[in-house]
Structure 1
Amino acid sequence: MYIAKGKEYNTIERHVNAPLFKRIFDCKTNEKSTIKITVVGLYRLFLNGKELNKSLFAPYLSNPDEIVFYDEYDVSGQLKQKNNVLCVLLGNGFVNSNDFNIWQNETASYRSAPKFDLQLKIGGETVFESDEEFLVTDSPITFDDFRCGERYDANREIENVFESTSLENFRKSLIVTPPKGEIIKNEAQPVVAADERTAAAITKTEKGYIYDFGVNDTGIPCLEINAQKGQKIDLYFAETVGGNGVDVRSISFAQSNPEYVQHDVYICKNGLQKYKPSFTWHGCRYAEVRGISAEQATKALLRFIPVHSAIGKICRFQCDNETINKLVEITLRSDKSNFIFYPYDCPHREKNGWTADAAISAEQMLYTFDAYESLRQWLLCIRKAQRKDGALPGIIPTAGWGFTFGNGPAWDSVLIELPYQLYRFYGKSEIVTENAAAIEKYFKYIEIKFNADGLVEIGLGDWCQTYTHAEGDYETPVEVTDSLTMISLAGKTAEMFEKVGLKAEKIKNFGKVLRENFRKKYVVDESLTVQTQTALAMCLQLNIFTAKEEKKAYAQLLENIRRQGNHFRVGVIGYRYLFETLAKHGDQNLCFHLIAQNSFPSYGYILGQGATTLWESFEEYERKEGELQRKDGVKRIPSFNHHFWGGVLAWIYRYIGWLDIKSEDTIEISPTMIEGVNRAEIEYSRNGKSVAISWRRTNEKLQLKVNSLGFKCILKHGGKTILPNGDSRFEFTIK
């Protein structure tokens, strides 16, 4: 049964302490012992003074009306005959989160105090479960919210509480209603801490001290201070600084209360003490510490601990072009710092599972990270969030927000793109079959949404397009990007369905009809009527044109780029199509220039501006009187840590590293010369297979080395050559 401290839940207006539950019990046997804990909220679990958690922020973040996850722990050999102390500390997590009335979390039907269900089994028999025998008290955590921050009063600590048998000030817990959602075992890769980072610099401000940790990242602070009782320390976290402290404009909304934007509060007890928050994390480069003296403002006072899901890195790349190396570095940092159980949009402002962001980044993330279990579990949450009519929300999990704004085919594509890429990289048919029914339901939903022209026009378009003043000011009509996205999704769905033995004729016909309808409206006199880089590149990549039309369209695309001063004018839907189209038409040098040049807008430009993570949008900035300002005059400052422009990473691996992953066991190596790169090395390993590719260009000679173990490697150079396991060496003359 589920228990809670009470019915009152924490809010910004009325703080409620995180509850700490305790049970003392005896154990008369040494048989196999397990604890199963299901939590609506977050938890930390302690047995005889030892923390058992396999993950930070356990168990997960989900809509409890749809799905609730449990963890299991083998505690065999950890129980004593007498006076075992079992403690559960609960945090709010998703069940009770504040969002300044943006995503409906504060009015969610499931909103409640955190609660849990626990069973201890010994020898296969249930010894006890959570009930009123668990006693509860207030913990020192006086407020917690994974977006807003945590507040902690060290004077409320109970000495040795996790191992002491004392129950003073504990009271009976309350039996409460169980959640409505399905109870499922948590299989996602755990969230883990990386090595602590000390400040690169400390700067005094009017209100306190700025700690600069060198790079933008996601993590938790570690505060260590010798203080007197009652000293109040405020920690504010942000990506940028202004003339008078941290600047929270890129991590908050206009209606946000700045005192509840990534703000931790610590009330000191006497003496040396150490604090790390339990139920919040922050996206930041800078921390502003207020309430400390000059003597206390040392590097030892505050350290930063990066946290992310334990998605192992399986690809390593480097070349002799430092712009590209740096771009790879900041992309990977954005990927990891935005992965807490599942991909987020940003780790500071929203911490939402935006669907388009994950769909756009799926390929590049899976090139580099082993994220199968985490993405598979998130797909389960996606299926649970799908409405009966097939519609999907723009964020998952959601309290209901995202069905009337924030979705559409490019966002909903996560339901197809994730299984497609996971099957491509892992070859497990389960990932397709588990999602097939939901995918088919989605296609039926889209058919109902066809407009009078037999096309699709719902939701968002080419988000964050360059040369615009707001994210939604895209130039390519939504009808164009939506319809072309659905054509792409139909092709990918049919491909993966056929590979696992599922019927695909209806999906193929869907794509065929949509292509015909699109051509009828938008291809006139052998030319596309919408002459944006996004529209042209998508049509070229998706084979919308005849051979004659394609030649004309590609010339138009090149002319468009030339008129733009050889810069890309695309958003997050169009950029990958543009890069791939240019490379496949032999213009990889032009594409490289678009990516790496120093002028605005480009990746080289943001690197030149000191970016340590990918930006949400390409903007020009300047500082006036210490304040960061956009040159276009727009006051809003977008995020400086979004991964959805990271699709460039797959392009780098493919056209500079020459690693083109076709399936879980097949790799193509296609030598492609790019001016500005004369050497590259890449290593990739998965499921016991590995490949290392290195090449070097010297004058007119190209040397290529491949070491493959388990993969079918195909060299495409003047034909196709299947390489044997082990070392292969080649030398070519460059014409």
Structure 2
Amino acid sequence: VAQRLKPVTVRALTPGTWLVDFGQNTAGWISLKLTGQRTGDVITVKYGEKLNEDGSLSLKGTDAHFRYPASFGTLPGGWFQTDRFVCDGSRAQVYEPRFTYNGFQYVEISGLARAPDASSVEACVVHTDFKDAGRFTCSNDLLNKLQHAILWAYRGNFVNGYPTDCPHREKNGWTGDASLASELAMYNFQNTAAYEKWVQDLIDEQLPDGNLAAIVPTSGWGYQWGNGPAWDSALVIIPWMLYVYQGDTRALETAYPAMAKYVDYMTSRARDGIVSHGLGDWIPVKTKTPTEVTSTGYYYLDAQIVARAAERLGKPGDAQKYAALARSIREAYTRHLYKGNGVYSIGSQTAQSCALHQGLVPAAERTAAEARLVESVQQVRAFPDFGILGSKYVFRALSDAGRTDLAFAMATKDEHPSYGNWIKRGATTFWEDWNEGASRNHIMFGDISAWFYQYLGGIRLADNVSAVAASADPQAVAFKRFVIAPEPVAELDWATAEHDSPYGLIRSEWRREKGAFVLEVEIPVNTEATVYLPVKPDAKNVTADVAPIASDRDRMAFRVGSGRYRFCAR
């Protein structure tokens, strides 16, 4: 039990039945103190995250995949997310389940002799025991609430030592959800041990031909549907994340044979370099991007990662083989999916940003592709029009195109459809979809938290750590060498990002102060950072604790070692 929550409200529904609201969607169970109960009294506790119009508990959508047993006919209400406790007549008893957990914000309790209150009932919050490793906060209250909701969704979906889609309906280890959440996890949590264990689970579930199941662990389901490159790539991406963020080569060494086998499996399914099987941009707002766009994007990314991993592990033959494969995929992507004038496939937000973020756009076409992405966002007034895969690409691609202002506008929308609309409707965790939330505790849209750190806070890995960079620098991983380049959009007054890296605390804190932009940074020992101020390289009225250096981008740059530094631009 990581935390205990007291009720926010307790309300009588009918005589003998009460609804308890803990004010936070979470995973776990309740602890209930009982007094005055008779022998044989049955206490029924139902857990849920939604309410009916009359204020009673609703399991609509939550129990969508639950198959009620025959006992449901003789046991009204069934067993799903329901505890029943038979009292023994003792003067005082404490009920707390030991063999299950639930996803809930509300509990409906019936059979009590007296009303529950803050002294008799509390929610026991459970998750895998990992430490926090980061903090992001800013002057925008909505973004702070989004960050809060993402952290609670992540914790609530990492309970039994493996990542899940939701803590109630399925509790399944959906690989796509886990892959999409892995980078936000690197900034916010120290969860290496659990990821290493789950990567081994992925290896164990891989078939001899390289195919993977959509959920891991699995009883055998998920090899024929629900998987595909965007999901299966968890086997490739998560070991790579552990390497570039934590310096963990052990994960690469362990997973490398399976990673290479999976890329070979995709090659066996490809047609002229294009992969079109598997799930695509799941749960889009409106526009459905063709699966070949995203599946081939992951095919390319995985080939690049395997090539870089082979370099790091001293396998030059493999490195050359998979680097050549990646080049051929990139050429095929352009040949089949580039329509000219910067447009990829149907020109959707996901299609444009996938090509940009995954490194598939030739340098000569990048400006045009970025312009088409910006147009696709502006056409819908900066509302999201993507699914879970696009949520990984769009914000970064906009920021890399110099349009963090547009990404920020999208992030801070609170009308439907938007992340902020979930918060406006009372969400305390991220939801599964843009409408009513079939599940209201899903992490798969949560990667925007990593964008908060990387662009609003400015803490990023060095460019040449990326798997799709032109060249690799293995000496820069794990924040040995990194970048601090905050994007101070006009609507923000300040932002603070901290990350507890393998070398120590990294801090980037900026604010507007009497017309000036002030940035304070903290760099851990034995590391080096390049700091970029949001001013031109030749800007005047800049004061700093160190002298500027020649800049490789349209910003004033500084090189700093361990210590604390202050920069001010007026």
Decide: shared fold, TM above 0.5.
yes
Instruction: State which of 417, 433, 437 in structure 1 corresponds to 2:237.
Output: 417
Aligned-pair distance for 1:554? 2.3
Letter of the structure 2 residue corresponding to residue 651 of structure 1: W
Question: Structure 2 counterpart of 1:289, which letter?
Answer: I
Q: CA deviation at 1:334?
A: 0.7
Matched, 1:302 2:121: yes
Secondary structure at the residue paired with 2:427? coil
* 2:45 and 2:108 in contact (8 A); partners too: yes
SS where residue 94 of structure 2 aligns? strand
Whole-Å Cα distance in 2 between the matches of residues 658 and 420 of structure 1?
A: 21
Q: Which whole-Å CA distance do the structure 1 matches of 2:187 and 2:65 have between them? A: 37
Q: Residues of 1 paired with 2:207 and 2:442: CA distance?
A: 28
Whether 1:607 aligns to 2:407 is no
Shift of 1:570: 0.5
Q: For 1:569, what is the secondary structure of its paired residue?
A: coil
**What's the CA shift string for 1:201-251, capped at 9, x where partnerless?**
112223711110111001121011011110001110001111252111132
2:22 corresponds to which residue?
A: 213
Which residue pairs with 1:132 in the alignment?
Answer: none
CA gap of 1:372–1:535, structure 2 versus 1, over 3 A, is same
Question: Distance in 2 between the 1:323 and 1:430 partners?
Answer: 39
> What is the aligned partner in structure 2 of residue 696 from structure 1?
511
- The answer to whether the Cα contact below 8 Å between 1:220 and 1:281 also exists between their aligned partners in 2 is yes
Equivalent-residue separation in structure 2 for 1:255 and 1:346 (angstroms) = 13
Partner Cα separation in structure 1 for residue 229 and residue 482 of structure 2: 30
Shift of 1:560: 1.8
Deviates more, 1:587-596 or 1:687-696: 687-696
1:547 is displaced (CA, Å) by 4.1
Equivalent pair of 1:250/1:640 in contact (CA under 8 Å) = no
Instruction: Answer yes or no: is the 8 Å Cα contact 1:561–1:568 preserved in 2.
Output: yes
- Cα distance in 1, alignment partners of residues 34 and 66 from structure 2: 34
* SS of structure 1 residue aligned to 2:505: strand
Q: How many angstroms does 1:542 deviate by?
A: 3.0
Q: Which residue in 2 is equivalent to 1:454?
A: 273
TM-score (norm 2): 0.87
Q: Which residue of 2 aligns with 1:722?
A: 559
Q: Distance in 1 between matches of 2:513 and 2:198?
A: 47
Mapping for residues 646-685 of structure 1, pairs under 5 Å: 646-662=446-462, 663-664=477-478, 665-685=480-500
Match of 1:198 in 2: 6
- What letter matches 1:211 in structure 2? V
How many pairs does the alignment contain? 517
Structure 2 CA distance for aligned equivalents of residues 244 and 716 of structure 1: 52
Deviation for aligned residue 1:255: 5.4
For the residues of structure 2 that align with 1:433 and 1:646, how far apart are their CA atoms? Answer: 29
Amino acid of the residue matched to residue 546 of structure 1?
P
Shift of 1:292: 1.8
What pairs up with 1:552-701 in 2 under 5 angstroms? 552-619=368-435, 621=436, 637-662=437-462, 663-664=477-478, 665-687=480-502, 689-701=504-516
> Which residue number corresponds to residue 252 of structure 1?
63
User: 1:322 and 2:133 equivalent?
Assistant: no
Task: Check whether the contact 2:18–2:109 (CA below 8 A) recurs between aligned residues.
Answer: yes
The residue type paired with residue 532 of structure 1 is: S
C-alpha distance in structure 1 between counterparts of 2:368 and 2:121, whole Å: 60
Q: CA RMSD, aligned part only?
A: 1.7
- Corresponding residue to 1:508 among 320, 323, 333: 323
Amino acid at match of 2:559: I
Taking the aligned partners of 2:97 and 2:359, their CA distance within structure 1 comes to 52
Give CA deviations for 1:313-338 in whole Å, capped at 9, x if unaligned. 01122211111111111111111111
More deviation, 252-261/667-676: 252-261
Q: Are residues 1:262 and 2:81 paired?
A: yes
Q: Separation in 2 of the partners of 1:542 and 1:302?
A: 49
| Secondary structure at the counterpart of residue 3 of structure 2 | coil
Distance in 2, Cα, partners of 1:211 & 1:575: 34
Task: State the alpha-carbon separation in 2 of the partners of residues 422 and 491 from structure 1.
Answer: 16
Quick one: which amino acid aligns to residue 415 of structure 1? L
CA drift of 1:567 comes to: 1.0
Q: Which of 301, 307, 310 does residue 497 from structure 1 map onto?
A: 310
Q: Secondary structure at the match of 1:342?
A: coil
Q: Is the 8 A contact 1:331 1:646 kept in 2?
A: yes
**Matched position secondary structure for 1:505:** helix
Q: Which has the higher helix share?
A: 2
In structure 1, the residue corresponding to 2:398 is in which secondary structure? Answer: helix
Q: How far apart are 1:265 and its partner, in Å? A: 0.6
Secondary structure (helix, strand or coil) at the match of 1:656 reads helix
**2-structure distance, mates of 1:547, 1:579:** 20
Query: Which residue number in structure 1 is paired with residue 47 of structure 2?
Result: 237
Partner secondary structure for residue 154 of structure 2: helix
**What's 1:73 paired with?**
none
String of CA shifts for 1:428-460, please: whole Å, max 9, x gaps. Answer: 211111111001111111111113x43111111
Unmatched runs of 5 consecutive residues or more in structure 1: 1-192, 468-473, 622-636
Equivalent residue letter for 2:29: I
In the alignment, the residues of structure 2 paired with residue 694 and residue 387 of structure 1 have an alpha-carbon distance, to the nearest angstrom, of: 47
1:285 aligned partner: 105
Corresponding residue for residue 182 of structure 1: none
Partner of 1:86: none
Distance, in Å, in 2 between the alignment partners of 1:456 and 1:297 is: 56
Q: Residues 688 and 525 from structure 1, CA distance in 2 versus in 1: closer, same or farther, beyond 3 angstroms?
A: closer
Length-normalised TM-score, structure 1 = 0.68
For 2:543, the equivalent position in structure 1 comes to none
- Correspondence for 2:200 among 380, 389, 396: 380
Is 1:541–2:354 an aligned residue pair?
no
Deviations 1:515-539 (CA, angstroms, capped at 9, x unpaired) = 2222222223444342211111111
Contact kept? 2:356, 2:370, Cα under 8 Å: yes
Whether the 8 Å CA contact 1:432–1:497 is kept in 2: the answer is no
Corresponding residue to 2:348 among 496, 518, 532 = 532
**Is the contact made by 1:239 and 1:250 (CA closer than 8 Å) also made in structure 2?**
no
Native 8 Å contact 2:243 2:252 kept in 1: yes
**Deviation of the 1:603 alpha carbon:** 1.7
CA displacement, residues 473-528 of structure 1 (integer Å, 9 cap, x when unaligned): x6111112111121122223322332333331221122122222222222234443
What is the CA-CA distance between 1:681 and the residue it aligns to? Answer: 1.8
Residues 655 and 400 (structure 1 numbering): CA distance in 2 closer, same or farther, change over 3 Å?
same
Q: How far 1:412 moved relative to its partner? A: 0.4
Amino acid at match of 2:33: E
Residue 682 to residue 232, structure 1, CA distance change in 2 (3 Å) = same
Shift of 1:254: 5.7
Higher strand share: 1
Contact (CA 8 Å) 1:319, 1:679: kept in 2 or not? yes
- Show the counterpart of 1:362: 182
Q: Percent of counterpart pairs with the same letter? A: 29
Instruction: Compare relative contact order (CA 8 Å, sep 6+) and give the higher one, 1 or 2.
Output: 2
For residues 6 and 85 of structure 2, the distance between their equivalents in structure 1, rounded to whole angstroms, comes to 19
Distance 1:297 1:690 in 2: 44
SS across alignment from 1:574? helix
Question: Residue 127 of structure 2: SS of its match in structure 1?
Answer: strand
Supply the distance in 1 between the matched residues of 2:530 and 2:404 (Cα, whole angstroms).
Answer: 21
Structure 2 unaligned segments of length 5 or more: list them.
Answer: 69-76, 463-476, 538-550, 552-556
- Give 3-state SS (helix, strand or coil) of 2:568's partner: strand
Q: Please tell me whether residue 480 in structure 1 is matched to residue 290 in structure 2.
A: no
CA contact (8 A) 1:318 1:682 kept: yes
1:225 to 16, 34, 37: 34
Would you say the 8 A contact 2:31–2:122 is kept in 1?
yes
On the 8 A contact 1:708/1:724 being kept in 2, the answer is yes
Tell me what 1:189 maps to. none
Question: Matched residues in 1 for 2:366 and 2:257: separation?
Answer: 36
2: CA distance, partners of 1:230 / 1:391 = 52
Query: Aligned partners of 1:501 and 1:213: how far apart in 2?
Result: 53
Give the AA of the match of 1:376: E
CA distance in structure 1 between the partners assigned to 2:55 and 2:457 by the alignment? 44
